[in-house]
Structure 1
Amino acid sequence: YLMAYLSDIEIPIEEQERFYKSEVKEVEINGTKKAFLKGMRLSLYPKGMNIIRHSRGIKYPEAKRMRLKDANQLIKGKSLTYHTTYRLSNQNGYTMTIDKKEYK
């Protein structure tokens, strides 16, 4: 719901034919039909603006940068709870791999 609120723009139902079908999302709320342009509101925010906020008093885990061998010493004996790998590359042949693991 939050992402739709931050990214979609409501348009009058009678104007939805002016847009591509793939851009328009039609929903029914309390018996009333509404149409939205998907993702169009995001272009209204300045580039780099942090649109995600957090409540006061929330403590986030401390992020640390370290060598892999030092990190492996910290996680010795811990159980793996999450693992994903991303491979990024561009047209020039540059490739970067991001390996994200979370332990309990």
Structure 2
Amino acid sequence: MKTKENLNELFFGKVAAEKIDKFENGMLEIEKKHFNYFEQKPKKSDVDENDRLHNHYVVITNNSSITFSFINDSNLDELIKKECIELFNEVFNSKNEIII
């Protein structure tokens, strides 16, 4: 059975898969950094113990680009949103690297 990373590499190539993995790991780090914030928010699904960062954004990938946005009803703190946008731009919009 193929892992998610292997599927990303298959669909988008090795460099893009590495960037996607770096972004996902960075988002987890942002969530950990703000653990108390998410712990105090009401959960958005029965699957999660408390609210999670992944409940507030969507990433769309295709063969030539990747887009990141927050869902319309996200009430995420502006500081956290800013950290997420900065991470996305650092990973995918670096002037020295090719966007997938």
Which structure has more relative contact order (CA 8 Å, sep 6+)? It is 2
TM category, shorter: under 0.3
TM-score, length-scaled by structure 1: 0.20
Report the structure number with the largest CA radius of gyration. Answer: 1
Higher fraction of strand: 1
